Amino acid sequence: MNIRYLTSQQRKKLKKPLGTLFQGSLEEIIMLVKILIEKESPTKIVAVGDQVSQDLTNHSILPSILIVDNRIMRKKIPPISATADNNINVKNPPGTITDEAWASIKQAMKSSQRSKIIVEGEEDLLTLVAILEAPENSLVFYGQPHQGIVVVKVTEAMKQKARKIFEAMKTQYSH
């Protein structure tokens, strides 16, 4: 099994939003999200992170895929109430992307049912996988701590940007 992990240089770069940062009160952000979804009619909606997944579902925005780790800002929380047709459990240590997590996201993207991927470890970097595996014109949402929600519109250019970050990650092989 391969595990990809970030260099400290990449970690700094990824602190900047990959897409558009929506800021303001939760109500303002949700309004912007709903306007965007109406305008774009996305192929898939993906939420990466417990807080963003819960916030969207609480406001009747139902992502096709939820990627959660039962943590908010690294603090353990009870599992979010958002439900899905399929629950998939994967291991993905902090600061990494495992083959297992990648395969589960790829499988969920192909499904017409709603999927919740529950990560043992950390889901942050799986945003890159979501961008790479989502069909074009999908929207990937993730939280930007203390700032708001980031939305990434999946385009070929955005996939290339995500691929570049992924390919620069270090690889560790394990059995």
pLDDT score, position 10: 79
Write down the pLDDT at residue 132. Answer: 98
Per-residue pLDDT at 2: 80
In angstroms, the CA 73 to CA 134 distance is 25
Q: What is the pLDDT of residues 39-57, one digit of tens each?
A: 999 999 999 999 999 999 9
Measured in Å, how far apart are the chain's first and last C-alpha atoms?
6
pTM of the model: 0.94
At residue 175, the pLDDT reads: 56
List per-residue pLDDT tens for the chain, 175 residues long.
788 888 777 777 778 899 999 999 999 999 999 999 999 999 999 999 999 999 999 999 999 999 999 999 889 999 999 999 999 999 999 889 999 999 999 999 999 999 999 999 999 999 999 999 999 999 999 999 889 999 999 999 999 999 999 988 888 776 5
Going by C-beta distance under 8 Å and a sequence separation of 6 or more, which residues neighbour residue 72?
49, 50, 51
